[in-house]
Structure 1
Amino acid sequence: MNQHTPLRDLLDSSGPLLLVPDAVLLPEGPAADHAVVVADGVFTAVGPTGELVGRHPDTTPVRLPGHLLMPGFVDAHHHLTQSFGAALAFGEPSEIFRRVWVPLEGALDEESAYVAAKLAALEALRGGFTTVTDAGTRADVDVDVIATAARDAGLRCVLGLVCNDQDGPAPAGPGVLERAEKHLVRYEGDPLVHASLAVSIPEAATEETLRRTAALAAEAGAVVQIHVNEHLAAVERSLLTHGLRPLEHLHAIGALGPQLLAAHATLLTPRELTLLATTGAAVSYNPVASAWKGNAVAPATAMAERGIRFGLGTDGTRGDGFRLAEAAEFAQRIAYGLAAGDSSCGAGWTWLEHATRGGADAVGLGARTGTIAPGLAADFLLVDVTTPELALSRDLPWELVRRGNRDQITAVFVAGRLRTWCGGPVGWDGSALVRRAAALAEATVSRAAVTRAHPTSARARAAVAGRERSTAR
């Protein structure tokens, strides 16, 4: 038993918890001498420590010296069943979904889809994400496999059902819209899984399906996830087909509104920014994906200024909430801030806001999670602020964005339950999952008809060395 075990045992409790950290991260900033009460999966009270201790005399306070209690991160865009091929995207040009992701997901069976999704969920939890938004899988399995994987891992999941009907063979069985209606009610009352609809790209569905899925989602209070204005090729295809850019096309057919979660939206005109602002549509800003395989960086600081709703998404690149927030700020600085002489680029708090509360709002869960407040789900992190990176902080929001890392996360809670402790899952064997995933990934990638434009880094280096030797001769 190590020195942390007694504290872990106190936290891994089904009863009410009165947690007393050094500070609580509220929307207005870190609040010292504050505590929270967690019961039945939600925050039942948040306020000054003395006041809460006095109001709950029968609950023993759990002191958390050296820790910040903050909202869990919300991943606004993920592909949980693509985890087996994460490294296949390295060095690849944009629009790789046809060459890599479609064949990879097509090679998944029920077990491999479950293990891939649970592996991605574990990585997300280790990185401080308490919610992920899955954009739908093309694997030929019941989408409930992904729901089960997320639930078993202890991760909150906004689960997309792909509603494509103009992208290859039509789905078997009931029509797309009938399947969409059933999916939207399938998880009613589920504490962790929340239904969403998805269309891969606008041209993957008929105009009628785009309109109807938008209406169904709006009625159900859900979101429709669509990759929009991500790559130059997609914009050009839309211009040639419709005479409009993808976002303009969605607006023209009546599919643009608060129910839309536009993934990426990196290539936006001033008019399209106005459309987003006036219709209330939300965006998933995915800065790491832009760096790894994109054509541009979404103008997130401009979105913030215009009041456009947006969250931060990983796109399955890496599951570290702090590194995602840092990438969000860094990408804005490189793409826009340096040229304009903007030394602030969101002042730190902007990226924490949109990694948590803003992200929850963008994915349709703003009334359920994303903030430390009474009545909201107890989805939160305990962050060690005594590390060399954070101990000398004079501006904690900036420090969390610039110097935070997942190894500073002591505990992750979702729906009031301890889900990870010092990076390891609580209540199940993470090492066994990783071993099984490694075996299944090898077999899955081997049978998938993946086409890559670039070799592995080792082969690329060998090719460079070969050219250098030839030149030397």
Structure 2
Amino acid sequence: MQIIAPRWLIPIEPHATVLSDHAVITDHERIVQIMPLSAARIAYPSAKETLLAEHVLLPGLINTHTHSAMSLLRGYADDLALMTWLHQHIWPAETAHVSDDFIFDGTTLAIMEMIAGGTTCANDMYFEHSAVARAAVSCGFRMGIGCSILEFPTPYASDADGYIKKALASRAEFSGEPLVHFTLAPHAPYTVSDDTFSRVITLADELDLGLHSHIHETQDEIKNSLKQYGVRPLERLAALGFLGSNLVAAHMVHTSDTEIALLAKHGVNIAHNPASNLKLASGIARIHAMQQAGINVSIGTDGAASNNKIDLFAEMRLAALLAKAQANNAEAIPAWQALEMTTLNAAKAMRLDDKIGSIKVGKQADLIAVDLSAAATQPCYDPISQLVYAADRSQVSHVWIAGRCVYQAGQHLSLNTGETLNRARRWQQRIKKEA
């Protein structure tokens, strides 16, 4: 039994709530009580107490769109348009280097970065799904593993059928692992055929699997869809039956009012990636209009190769500021709503809101503490506003995942930092040499 006693507690539910001098009591992986600290000390006199005198305690942040292993390609091909970046640099590098070892090492590096920045769960999309799962399990990290599906060959599979078979095999291999689950991730409308989308939809329905895909990321994607199919990508996917509450649609930068209504009608979840969208000049998503329409909007970082940080504190602030400018409304996406986008909204998108996303009795103890004692976050009138607009990931002091402390005072407790960094450097030397 453990008492975690911060100065401020932000449970996320109810909206915009801040509790002072309250404690969270955990027992193994679960939250068992939330109560005033004075009462907690009486009720649990033998519990271990973690006193956080100048800290906020909140749910762990959740990254709803990333390609973790691409951390090994951070900075490899910067300042390029998306299709140039993909076709001339990223895909050739992946063809040359992606392997089980590459994926494991790159995913571990990304997890190391995410944990230190207060992220306790990620919605991934890449290859070598078993390697991603092994990395997550070995680090004690919560992960949704999106199994990429494409029509064209890569070193991982030769066609859509091969990708699907490997996805299902990896899912079976890790059945019962509490921290990982699998989703089907057809890469994008421009890399997946109608027949493959139909097969994916059938499998998702049969096996109750989530879906994860890049959709409406660029104007070129939409122009090419109109040329090839006669309709915009979202209309094509709606006709196929791909839109639903089990779908996380990454990016959704270019949307009409009609398309926003269509997304809302089908309960589609959006993974907004503000930094990557700006860096690749993809555009600015209409997230305020989406939220006004009742769409569940969460935040992702995309991969480190196109961001170049896996930093949800930075994304939260950017998302809130961009929304205000894009909507011409300073009240768009207030701080509490930006924080919900990286916690409860993200948990809903991943269909994990019964387990994580808020501090609530019975949920998993995925928690982070943020130290607000630094000059940059003083004075503190509103800790929610301070977290979104002033704090940064370096102020994360403690991270718990399923009740286990995996990070404290700058030290990782669930992974070998030296070995992880050494492996990353060896990959950098190899990739640079063979470029």
Tell me, yes or no, whether TM beats 0.5.
Answer: yes
Please give the alpha-carbon distance, in whole angstroms, between the structure 1 residues aligned to 2:235 and 2:410. 43
Residue of structure 1 in register with 2:335 after alignment: 348
What amino acid sits opposite 1:78 in the alignment?
T
Secondary structure of the equivalent of 2:126?
Answer: coil
Residue of structure 2 in register with 1:72 after alignment: 60
Q: How many residues matched? A: 425
Residue of structure 1 in register with 2:247 after alignment: 260
**Contact 2:8–2:383 under 8 Å retained in 1:** no
Residue of structure 2 in register with 1:320 after alignment: 311
What amino acid sits opposite 1:101 in the alignment?
I
Please give the alpha-carbon distance, in whole angstroms, between the structure 2 residues aligned to 1:93 and 1:33. 50
Matches within 5 A, 1:7-156: 16-27=1-12, 28=15, 29-95=17-83, 96-106=85-95, 107-137=97-127, 142-156=128-142
Post-superposition CA distance 1:155-210 (Å, at most 9, x none): 21110111223567963796554444444444332121111111111232232321
C-alpha displacement at 1:421, in angstroms? 2.0
Change (3 A) 1:120 1:54: same
1:389 partnered with 2:379: no
Please give the alpha-carbon distance, in whole angstroms, between the structure 1 residues aligned to 2:400 and 2:99. 31
Post-superposition CA distance 1:102-143 (Å, at most 9, x none): 222221232222111111111111111101111122xxxx42
Please give the alpha-carbon distance, in whole angstroms, between the structure 2 residues aligned to 1:162 and 1:143. 9
Please give the alpha-carbon distance, in whole angstroms, between the structure 2 residues aligned to 1:177 and 1:150. 21
Percent identity over paired residues: 26
Post-superposition CA distance 1:311-357 (Å, at most 9, x none): 100002212221110111122233x13xx3x1122111111000111
Change (3 A) 1:372 1:80: same
Structure 1, 296-305 or 186-195: larger mean CA deviation: 186-195
What amino acid sits opposite 1:30 in the alignment?
V
Secondary structure of the equivalent of 2:76?
Answer: helix
Please give the alpha-carbon distance, in whole angstroms, between the structure 1 residues aligned to 2:216 and 2:280. 14
Change (3 A) 1:270 1:276: same
1:367 partnered with 2:354: yes
**Contact 1:166–1:206 under 8 Å retained in 2:** no
Structure 1, 281-290 or 219-228: larger mean CA deviation: 219-228
Matches within 5 A, 1:277-426: 277-316=264-303, 317=307, 318-334=309-325, 336-337=326-327, 340=328, 342-426=329-413
Which 4+ stretches in 1 moved above 6 angstroms?
Answer: 167-170
Residue of structure 2 in register with 1:163 after alignment: 149
What amino acid sits opposite 1:19 in the alignment?
I
1:222 partnered with 2:233: no
C-alpha displacement at 1:427, in angstroms? 4.4
C-alpha displacement at 1:65, in angstroms? 1.1
Please give the alpha-carbon distance, in whole angstroms, between the structure 1 residues aligned to 2:64 and 2:379. 31
**Contact 1:84–1:445 under 8 Å retained in 2:** no
What amino acid sits opposite 1:20 in the alignment?
A
**Contact 2:269–2:349 under 8 Å retained in 1:** yes
What amino acid sits opposite 2:145 in the alignment?
L
Q: Cα RMSD over matched residues? A: 2.1
Taking structure 1 as the reference length, what is the TM-score of the superposition?
A: 0.85
C-alpha displacement at 1:225, in angstroms? 1.0
Please give the alpha-carbon distance, in whole angstroms, between the structure 2 residues aligned to 1:352 and 1:273. 22
Secondary structure of the equivalent of 2:62?
Answer: strand
What amino acid sits opposite 1:421 in the alignment?
Q
What amino acid sits opposite 1:97 in the alignment?
L
Change (3 A) 1:219 1:24: farther
Change (3 A) 1:184 1:428: closer
Please give the alpha-carbon distance, in whole angstroms, between the structure 1 residues aligned to 2:159 and 2:86. 22
Secondary structure of the equivalent of 1:346?
Answer: coil
**Contact 2:60–2:399 under 8 Å retained in 1:** yes
**Gaps in structure 1 of 5+ consecutive residues:** 1-15, 449-473
**Contact 1:186–1:195 under 8 Å retained in 2:** no
**Contact 1:267–1:298 under 8 Å retained in 2:** yes
Change (3 A) 1:176 1:63: closer
Matches within 5 A, 1:137-216: 137=127, 142-165=128-151, 171=158, 175-216=162-203
C-alpha displacement at 1:244, in angstroms? 1.2
Please give the alpha-carbon distance, in whole angstroms, between the structure 1 residues aligned to 2:168 and 2:260. 31
